[in-house]
């Protein structure tokens, strides 16, 4: 049971939940004896005598870069409360300057040198366990504080590349040394490897070892070297030596490593280090037609170029959602590149007149604003596919010094021009996402299929249409939408087996509609077996498979990959926040939601999700404010959330008023989901379970994940688990 605000643990009065640590939840608390604020980490079980002995050793560490352990209770630790972001937060914020990286690295190694001198191994060195005290703005100097020294061995078992794994193997997979992965004995050289992974992440803003699953990450740690960094030569040599697979080839002590850092300290720049892997955002091409009535064509051309560039190995391509977020805005190219985290931007224009088309395109370097390549194409409209290929080839050729190969994108089926134009118009209307535009999009997709029956991509468009109406907007019942989505995907694969996105949608249908989780996993693995894997497939794998089966820790990694490819995709960030919150990482979850709200302060999905997380933390007034702001009278989720929080605050009359639309039509599709949220938040798990069962009967795609979040400990859970073929 989570201690609520006001609860006392010995002399420590709980103030608020502030996050999750390796062994439990972390609270801000008040030390009533010494009248000071502290951090209290609460474990689920009582500590063993062996742990208490180790805690005494850690408490004896006295170093300015080590978080002080004040006290130990039967199942809690009391530490100094540190004001500042974690290193993970800082890396997420923006690129670090080499001078800043070296300063942080020197302080971290100093802390570890002291700990190792006293025989203490950390076992879980990662950016999330390093705090930058007193650093709230980019100009502030940071004092490093390393958390959780020597305590990782009591961490709870998790299964994600960003969380701590316990049992026979201790640590966080993405930062483990190879010998740690293999369960061998550890020494300080193991922590030098972990430090190398942290240093690499500071330099590149990406993890040294990544993968779509825990197994992929562990295999990468043992067998793979990270991609080249753009670090200054001295720092690059340090990273490479730290990350040697054999301990004997690494630095042999933190003192030796710190001395190496001292040698490069005065030779590095104060400028942020640029990302190394070439990356590009294709901005929507401007419609220069005389009547300005071919926006659908210019947008479609931009999207087709994105699809062609995705095929180039070694090139990171920002997805359409994020690139098109700047449409119609007079933003500086360098600012756009900074927001999207890319090294290059492609912009252009389209002028169409009858059967002729003029296309201009310019490739721009983000750091300088310089034009690296530009071209103008005056062609017949029928040549549009060749123009797309030529632009992609020209970009790859321009960047070839940093790319492994420069392929010419292939096209399995070249549609007739009227069918292609119908598809482009359908995508244009789909992007507007209102009922009228979605209906028009569906008509155009069906028109494209009629015009060219062998064209596979309109079938994928139809599948996405039905999935959005059902799982996204909740306006089409699952029993209507999901079979149609399945049929559209199967037809697309009949026409073009290379369309891996179709297997991803089929995996989602098999999971949250059929409750056939084995088949869902098979289809998702099939979708991810051929490169490049669309970012949407990674997102669906986490959202429609890993979360519903109760593995939110693992779900965060593929959803995060989706967000990295599409950083302004609000749905992706909200999905990631939900997975992180279900894992107990409330701080990271709220950070993702703040990223959305920073761009759209009234985004209802982000506000409602934020309200639910605040409620889980016991921050009821903040939860209610978010729910009020995110309330939409047509959305069952927002209705149930606001009504539940009002009831929690004792405002039962208004709660009933807000809830009235759902109570009037309780069998309408989506209503059980909202009524479940109301009862779960107001504390009636019995009624919540009853409404969740009705959501399962509706085959609401959200039902499995909602069950995992709220009812897994309730008496109704075994029955619900059997209904959804989930392990009980």
Which pair of tokens denotes residue 521? 């996993």
| 8 Å CB contact between 191 and 122 | yes
For residue 626, cis peptide bond before it (omega within 30 degrees of 0): no
Pick the closest to residue 207 from 120, 309, 127 (CA basis).
127
Give the residue among 229, 264, 261 at the shortest CA–CA distance from 107. 261
Cross-strand pairs, 353: 356
DSSP 21: -
DSSP 8-state secondary structure symbol assigned to residue 97: B
Cα–Cα distance for residue pair 12/4, rounded to 1 Å = 12
Three-class SS state of 528: coil
CB 613 within 8 A of CB 577: yes
Please tell me whether the peptide bond between 532 and the residue prior to it is cis, using omega within 30 degrees of 0.
yes
Q: Are 636 and 671 in contact (CB under 8 A)?
A: yes
Phi-psi region of 148 (alpha: psi -120 to 50; beta: other; left: phi over 0): left
715: helix, coil or strand?
coil
What is the enclosing helix (H) or strand (E) of 218? helix 214-223
124 belongs to the catalytic site? yes
**Catalytic member of 31, 124, 160, 553:** 124
Q: Which two tokens stand for residue 106?
A: 């020197």
Sole residue written with tokens 């869902």: 520
DSSP 8-state symbol, 206: S
Among residues 275, 210, 200, 205, the alpha carbon closest in space to that of 239 is found at 200
Bridge-based pairing state of the strands 286-287 and 344-353: parallel
* Dihedral sign computed on CA atoms, order 251, 255, 258, 263: negative
Those residues with Cβ within 8 angstroms of residue 247's Cβ, 6 or more apart along the chain or in another chain: 177, 179, 187, 189, 190, 193
- In this structure, are residues 40 and 12 in contact, taking their beta carbons and an 8 Å threshold? yes
| CB-based contacts of 29, cutoff 8 Å, min separation 6 | 9, 12, 13, 14, 15, 37, 38, 39, 40, 78
Active site residues: 124
């Amino acid at each position: 049971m989570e201690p609520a605000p006001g609860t006392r643990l010995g002399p420590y009065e709980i103030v608020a939940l502030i996050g999750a640590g390796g062994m439990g939840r972390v609270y801000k608390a008040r030390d009533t004896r010494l009248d000071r604020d502290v951090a209290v980490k609460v474990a689920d079980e009582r500590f063993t005598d062996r742990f208490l002995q180790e805690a005494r050793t850690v408490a004896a560490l006295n170093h300015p870069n080590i978080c002080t352990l004040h006290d130990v209770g039967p199942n809690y630790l009391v530490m100094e409360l540190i004001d500042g972001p974690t290193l993970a937060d800082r890396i997420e914020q923006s690129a670090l300057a080499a001078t800043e990286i070296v300063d942080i690295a020197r302080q971290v190694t100093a802390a570890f040198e002291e700990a190792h001198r006293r025989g203490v191994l950390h076992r879980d060195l990662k950016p999330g366990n390093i705090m930058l005290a007193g650093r709230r703005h980019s100009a502030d100097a940071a004092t490093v504080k390393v958390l959780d020294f020597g305590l990782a061995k009591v961490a709870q078992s998790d299964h994600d590349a960003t969380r701590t794994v316990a049992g026979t193997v201790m640590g966080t997979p993405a930062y483990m040394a190879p010998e740690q992965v293999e369960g061998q004995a550890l020494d300080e050289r193991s922590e030098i490897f972990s430090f190398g992974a942290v240093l690499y992440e500071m330099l590149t803003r990406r993890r040294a070892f990544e993968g779509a699953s825990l197994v992929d990450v562990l295999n990468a740690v043992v067998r793979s070297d990270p991609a080249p960094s753009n670090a200054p030569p001295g720092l690059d040599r340090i990273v490479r030596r730290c990350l040697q697979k054999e301990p004997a080839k690494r630095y042999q002590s933190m003192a030796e490593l710190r001395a190496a850092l001292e040698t490069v300290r005065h030779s590095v720049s104060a400028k942020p280090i640029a990302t190394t892997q070439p990356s590009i955002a294709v901005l929507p091409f401007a419609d220069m037609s005389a009547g300005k009535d071919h926006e659908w064509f210019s947008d479609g051309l931009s999207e087709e170029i994105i699809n062609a560039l995705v095929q180039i190995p070694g090139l990171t391509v920002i997805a359409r959602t994020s690139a098109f977020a700047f449409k119609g805005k007079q933003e500086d190219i360098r600012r756009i590149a900074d927001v999207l985290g890319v090294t290059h931007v492609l912009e252009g224009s389209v002028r169409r007149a009858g059967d002729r088309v003029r296309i201009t395109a310019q490739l721009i370097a983000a750091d300088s604003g310089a034009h690296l390549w530009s071209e103008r194409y005056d062609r017949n409209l029928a040549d549009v596919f060749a123009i797309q290929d030529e632009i992609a080839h020209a970009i790859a050729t321009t960047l070839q010094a940093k790319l492994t190969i420069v392929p010419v994108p292939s096209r399995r089926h070249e549609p007739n021009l009227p069918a292609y134009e119908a598809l482009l118009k359908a995508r244009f209307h789909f992007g507007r996402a209102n009922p009228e535009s979605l209906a028009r999009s569906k008509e155009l997709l069906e028109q494209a299929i009629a015009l060219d029956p062998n064209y596979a991509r309109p079938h994928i468009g139809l599948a996405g249409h039905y999935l959005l109406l059902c799982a996204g907007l909740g306006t089409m019942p699952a029993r209507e939408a999901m079979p149609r989505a399945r049929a559209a995907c199967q037809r697309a694969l009949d026409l073009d087996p290379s369309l891996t996105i179709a297997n991803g949608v089929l995996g989602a249908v098999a999971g949250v509609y059929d409750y056939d989780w084995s088949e869902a996993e098979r289809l998702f693995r099939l979708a991810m077996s051929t490169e490049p894997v669309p970012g949407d497939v990674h997102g669906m794998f986490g959202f429609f498979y890993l979360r519903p089966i109760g593995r939110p820790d693992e779900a965060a990694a593929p959803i995060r990959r989706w967000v990295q490819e599409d950083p302004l995709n609000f749905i992706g960030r909200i999905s990631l926040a939900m997975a992180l919150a279900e894992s107990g990482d409330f701080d990271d979850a709220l950070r993702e939601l703040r990223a959305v709200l920073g761009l759209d302060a009234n985004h209802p999905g982000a506000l409602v999700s934020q309200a639910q997380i605040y409620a889980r933390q016991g921050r009821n007034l903040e939860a209610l404010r978010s729910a009020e702001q995110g309330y939409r009278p047509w959305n069952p989720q927002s209705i149930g959330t606001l009504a539940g929080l009002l009831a929690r605050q004792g405002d039962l009359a208004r709660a009933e008023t807000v809830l009235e639309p759902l109570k009037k039509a309780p069998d309408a599709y989506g209503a059980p989901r909202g009524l479940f949220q109301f009862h779960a938040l107001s504390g009636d798990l019995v009624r919540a379970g009853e409404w969740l069962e009705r959501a399962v009967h509706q085959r609401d795609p959200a039902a499995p994940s909602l069950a995992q979040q709220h009812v897994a400990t309730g008496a109704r859970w075994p029955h619900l688990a059997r209904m959804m073929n989930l392990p009980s």
